[in-house]
Amino acid sequence: MSNGNMNLTLKVWRQSSNTAAGKMENYQLGGVSPDMSFLEMIDMLNDQIIRKGEDAIAFDHDCREGICGMCSMFINGEAHGPNRGVTTCQLHMRSFKDGDTIYIEPWRAEGFPVVKDLMVDRAAFDRIIQSGGFVSVNTSGRTMDANAIPIPKDDADKAFDAATCIGCGACVATCPNSSAMLFVSAKVSQFALLPQGHPERKERVLNMVKQMDEEGFGNCSNIGACEVQCPKNISIENIARMNREYLSASVKPEN
Amino acid sequence: MKLDGKIPEGPLDQKWNKYKNSVRLVNPSNKRNIEVIVVGTGLAGSSAAASLAEMGYKVKAFCFQDSPRRAHSIAAQGGINAAKNYMNDGDSTYRLFYDTIKGGDYRSREANVHRLAEVSASIIDQCVAQGVPFARDYGGLLDNRSFGGTQVSRTFYAKGQTGQQLLLGAYSALSRQIGKGSVKLYNRHEMMDLVVVDGKARGIIARNMITGEIESHSGHAVVLCTGGYGNVFFLSTNAMGSNVAAAWRAHRKGAAFANACFTQIHPTCIPVSGDHQSKLTLMSESLRNDGRIWVPLHKEDAEAIRAKKLKPTDLPEERRDYYLERRYPAFGNLVPRDVASRAAKERCDAGFGVNATGEAVYLDFASAFMRYGKTAATVQGVHNATEDQIRELGRKVVAGKYGNLFQMYEQIVAENPYQTPMMIYPAVHYTMGGLWVDYELMTTVTGCYACGEANFSDHGANRLGASALMQGLADGYFVLPYTIGNYLADEISTGAISTKTPEFIEAEKAVRERLEGLFKTTGTETVDTYHKKLGKIIWDYCGMARSKEGLEFAISEIRKIREEFYKNVKVPGGMTGVNTELEKATRVADFIELGELMCLDALDRDESCGGHFREEFQTEEGEALRVDDKYSYVAAWEFTGDPSAPKLNKEDLIYENIKVQQRSYK
């Protein structure tokens, strides 16, 4: 049950460091089981590489259940591979066929420099959140009761849907403009939909968009690939909402 | 070693208030000159770092992930408990306290648990204020659901992603402080050692996981929020990177490690499918609100199902055994995790398992679809709805509650759980044991604190569902920010702490030598090979059932693994740059030492309690049999220099408010 019988040709981006030149390397891997996750297949490949005394392929991963947002990988030209609504760690080898050739590359965007092999630096996302992706409320056992402000279920649900973004960066990797607007708009939307987010609504969107631009991410030109490839199905409606928030914040900054 | 729990005097429900009113404070101008190191950025770490920075301390936060938002708290699914009694079902601070003590099988501290219950309500207020989008009802108020070991609904949730939403809340609070410069973030840094100067924790040695540099960082206090050690089993629901290194290194520097054998095996996880597997995936306990657990009543049906000659959906009700409802009518499917896990194991060991390996039971939503469907049909005014229509309406309701969990299941198992019952089996999920801390959350190393899963303090021998998130945030938001002041009040004239002292230089050198040593072997085996070997031994002999004989065997095996590891492990690459195999090797080395301690601890405890089930100690009905007169203590193990010979220190557990009795969920 453990060992499968798929044979694969893997073409993997290898780059020893941020400043080194990278290239695609060829690997043959046999005995792959369709029940393996994609990352378990990479584990198997790494086991083979290590036993040869070579440097293991570096890749980001942690929870392996689709929630931490750490895994990335551009697989056959698609962020998180061919399936919709899943991260790379949730992709299973049953989505591939015996004899397939699979191309595996890192996210490629100016805002996400390669660290090593398939690992990229996504600290730009953290800096965007640091610029305004929060409600300025200090820790206190004396905030108002959690039920003091009723929130319409529909708003709460929409805020939740936006808040399920895992910050993986697939939207950026997919976008021809390397735009981070799906990511940024998801956070802006979450707080725009909730009363707790309203006091800082204007500064938030202005600051976050400013930081987004400074990080080298491009603009949205309504292609919509981000929404399709987002493993959490974050809706592009959020970008429209962010644009409205941005516009109203820009027009009347004093009110 | 002297263990002083520092429990405040006075009646139970006044201890915390009294403590807060009399604890020493540090004035704002002095706070600016005091630095605190927080290791780990999960719920406990992010909330502690953010709160300390808001108060005015200078904070350095460390995480091994690329971003603090990725800490494994993010994967918690079902919910967070709080004694709000919004449901008007009789909940109260006392009941949450009582359920937690009882759920922990009377092996936790009364004062700590009561404080946890007291601050629980503030956590929900705080999170809502931060913009955490909890689930709400149509009236706009917060919704609740039930978890195991309780008879009230006190669990707040955000679909199956509660941990994600809470962590992103704490992460946003942390990010705000990073943006202000009050917290300096060190991501992709792993703590390699604790530095102790004149008996006080004064800093850490960390490895920069990008450059490979070994760095010294100093602070007036060190707070470890580094999570649990479930990955010692190799297969667990923990993230791949979750590890014990920080806690273990603190242990080696003098922090007692308590109740190492108290591990939680979660009853509802996706079963193991093959030896390629790198981790196991949890299906939230909240599913037991609506899912019913069963196996076939007759062995021949179980055999037919295993042989795929019979489908579970074709088996009529009278040939099913809803064994939890049968054995525990009062709590039914919502018994605590340890009880549910053992019951699943019992049925599977008896030959009633339902998958190819015989190690799975069903979690079935068929009756929930119909129940919700009928309500939905009535509400929507669909008269004379057919059974299929009702089922479809019910499926939509269930999808609204647990949609992402059903999707995860389908991805992994390639079966649609809306059509056929889920198959589940227990898996390692959480560790109640951890660094011993006093009431102030300080370890036995002065100035070194432990919060969240990293400490041992609140869950006794078994944690109730939805209480880990509660504890992590309670420690970080509402407990540590108070208690740490009591220590830091003495540090106002210490001044900046230099990393150029012999203690730092020595510690840095020792870390470097330890790492370099791993490259010196001419070994042939990968790190994972040893991790898998260790995990299998611990699972087989220190997992759901333990025995004296088995534990003694495990200890001798683990010693062999340790010896072999240092002789024969193969770590490619070098000290500089990214080296993921080196990271794994240091973590596994620590797991091997911890694994032995777990077995020694389990061997010492000649009783069964909570998740610690010694086969020699059970009631006639197969329930855990405690031996209160001998084992009503916290086992706090002291490192002696030899991992095989730790010294046992005991903190007696004194129950002044709760009558200790045999736990019953019947």
pLDDT exceeds 60 at position B494 = yes
Q: How far is CA A48 from CA A45, A55, B531, in A?
A: 5, 11, 17
Question: If you write DSSP's letter for every residue of A4-60 in order, what string do you get?
Answer: --EEEEEEEEE-SSTTS--EEEEEEEEEE-TTSBHHHHHHHHHHHHHHTTPPPPP--
Q: What is the 3-state secondary structure (H, E, C) of B411-444?
A: HHHCCCCCCCCEEEEEEEEEECCEECCCCCCECC
Q: Give domain A123-251's CATH number out of 3.40.640.10, 1.10.1060.10, 3.40.190.10, 3.40.50.150.
A: 1.10.1060.10
Q: Above 60 in pLDDT, residue A254?
A: no
Contact between B273 and A152 using a beta-carbon 8 Å cutoff? no
Pick from A154, A26, A193, A68: nearest CA to B227:
A68
Element at A168 (helix H, strand E): none
The answer to whether the beta carbons of residues B190 and A192 sit under 8 Å apart is: no
Output the pLDDT for position B9: 96
Residues of chain A with Cβ-Cβ distance to B211 below 8 Å are: none
At B498 the pLDDT is 98
Q: Strands B292-296, B434-435: parallel, antiparallel or unpaired by DSSP?
A: unpaired
- Is a pLDDT exceeding 80 seen at residue A255? no
Nearest CA in chain A to B47: A139
Q: Looking at residue A253, what is its pLDDT?
A: 52
**Hey, what are A176's tokens?**
């021809």
* Percentage with pLDDT > 90 across chain A: 95
- List, for residues A113-163, the tens digit of each pLDDT value: 999 999 999 999 999 999 999 999 999 988 999 999 999 999 999 999 999
A118 at the B interface (CB within 8 A)?
no
A19 touches chain B (CB under 8 A): no
What is the least distance, in Å, from the CA of B393 to any CA of chain A? Answer: 19
What are the sequence ranges of the domains in chain B? Answer: 265-428
pLDDT, one tens digit per residue, over B220-245 is: 999 999 999 999 999 999 999 999 99
Q: What is the pLDDT of residue A142?
A: 87
Q: State the residue for tokens 């609740």.
A: B144
Flag if B136 and A17 touch (Cβ within 8 Å): no
- Structure token digits, residue B542: 């220190």
pLDDT at residue B273 in the model = 85
- A40 Cβ contact partners less than 8 Å away, ≥ 6 residues apart: B276, B277, B278
Residues in A closer than 8 angstroms to B128, CB to CB, are 143, 146, 196
Structure token pair of residue B590: 């620590």
Q: Do B131 and A44 touch (CB under 8 A)?
A: no
Strand ranges in chain A using DSSP code E only, listed in sequence order: 6-14, 23-32, 74-75, 78-79, 101-105, 114-116, 119-120
Calculate mean pLDDT across residues B634-649: 98
Give me the interface pTM, i.e. the ipTM.
Answer: 0.97
Instruction: Say what the pLDDT of residue B274 is.
Output: 83
Instruction: Name the pairing type of β-strands B292-296 and B633-638.
Output: unpaired
Q: Which of A116, A123, A132 sits opposite B577 (nearest CB)?
A: A116
Q: What is the mean pLDDT of residues B456-482?
A: 97
Q: Is the pLDDT of residue A19 over 90?
A: yes
In B, which residues are within 8 Å of A63 by CB distance?
A: 70, 72, 74-75, 239-240
Interface size A-B, in CB pairs within 8 Å, comes to 228
Q: Are A225 and A174 in contact (CB under 8 A)?
A: yes
Confidence band, pLDDT 50/70/90 cuts, at residue B270: very high
Read off the tokens for A16. 């020893």
* Residue B179 token pair: 């943006």
Contact B341, B539 (CB under 8 A): no
pLDDT tens-place string over residues B516-526: 999 987 889 99
What confidence score (pLDDT) does residue A1 get? 39
8 A C-beta contact, residue B531 and residue B598: no
Q: What is the mean pLDDT of chain B?
A: 96
Could you report the per-residue pLDDT of B367-401, keeping only the tens digit for each?
999 999 999 999 999 989 999 999 999 999 999 88
Does the beta-carbon distance from A164 to B68 stay under 8 Å? no
- Identify the band that residue A3 occupies on the pLDDT scale cut at 50, 70 and 90: low
Residue A123 at interface with chain B, using a CB cutoff of 8 Å: yes
> Do β-strands B263-269 and B422-431 pair in parallel, antiparallel, or remain unpaired?
antiparallel
Residue of B nearest to A208 (CA): B179
The CATH classification of domain A6-105, taken from the options 3.90.1640.10, 3.40.1480.10, 3.50.30.30, 3.10.20.30? 3.10.20.30
| Percent of all residues in chain B with a pLDDT value above 90, rounded to a whole number | 96
Contact A63 B75 (CB under 8 A): yes
Nearby residues of A138 by Cβ (< 8 Å), 6 or more positions away: B51, B54
Q: Where in chain A is the domain with CATH 1.10.1060.10?
A: 123-251
Report the gap between the CA of A20 and the closest CA in chain B (Å). 12
Residue B612 structure tokens = 């610690």
- Which residue, among B240, B285, B313, B445, has the nearest Cα to A61 in the 3D structure? B240
Q: Do the chains contact at B47 and A47, CB–CB below 8 Å?
A: no
Amino acid in the structure at residue B88: N
Query: Could you report the per-residue pLDDT of B344-375, keeping only the tens digit for each?
Result: 999 999 999 999 999 999 999 999 999 999 99
Residue B642 confidence (pLDDT): 98
Task: Tell which A residues from 153 to 182 touch B, by Cβ distance under 8 Å.
Answer: 153, 156-157, 159-160, 163-164, 166-167
**If you average pLDDT over residues B481-492, what whole number do you get?**
97
The per-residue pLDDT for range B283-334, each reduced to its tens digit, is 998 899 899 999 999 999 999 999 999 999 999 999 999 999 999 999 999 9
Distance CA B609, CA B635 (A): 13
In chain A, where does the domain assigned CATH 3.10.20.30 lie? 6-105
Contacts of B151 (CB under 8 A, 6+ apart): B330, B331
Q: Are A123 and B66 an interchain contact pair (Cβ–Cβ within 8 Å)?
A: yes
- Chain A, residues 198-227, CB within 8 A of chain B, namely none
Selected for mutation to probe chain A from B578, B579, B583, B588 (highest A CB count within 10 Å) is B578
Which residues of B are less than 8 Å from A69 in CB distance? 67, 69-70, 74
- Partners of A71 on chain B (C-beta within 8 Å) are none
Site from B52, B125, B154 to mutate, A interface, most A CB atoms within 10 angstroms: B125
pLDDT given at position B197: 98
Nearest residue in chain A measured CA to CA from B56: A138
A 27-86 residues with CB < 8 A to B: 33, 35-37, 39-40, 43-44, 47, 49-51, 53-56, 58, 60-70, 85-86
Q: Do B131 and A56 touch (CB under 8 A)?
A: no
Min Cα distance B172 → chain A (Å) is: 5
> Which of 136-155 (A) contact B at CB < 8 A?
136-141, 143-147, 150-153
pLDDT digits (tens, 9 = 90+) for A54-80: 999 999 999 999 999 999 999 999 999
Q: How confident is the model at residue A2 (pLDDT cuts 50, 70, 90)?
A: very low
* Overall average pLDDT of the B25-40 stretch: 97
Q: Let me know the angle formed at the C-alpha of B345 by B342 and B348, rounded to the nearest 5 degrees.
A: 155
Return the pLDDT at B400: 87
The nearest CA of chain A is from the CA of B550 a distance in Å of 27
Joined tokens for residue A143: 């905030």
pLDDT of residue B521: 77
**Distance (Å, rounded) from C-alpha B427 to C-alpha B424?**
9
In this complex, which of A51, A62, A160 lies closest to B526 when CB atoms are compared? Answer: A51
| Inter-chain CB proximity B239 and A33 less than 8 Å | no
Q: Which residue has the higher pLDDT, A4 or B175?
A: B175
Q: Is A191 an interface residue toward B (CB < 8 Å)?
A: yes
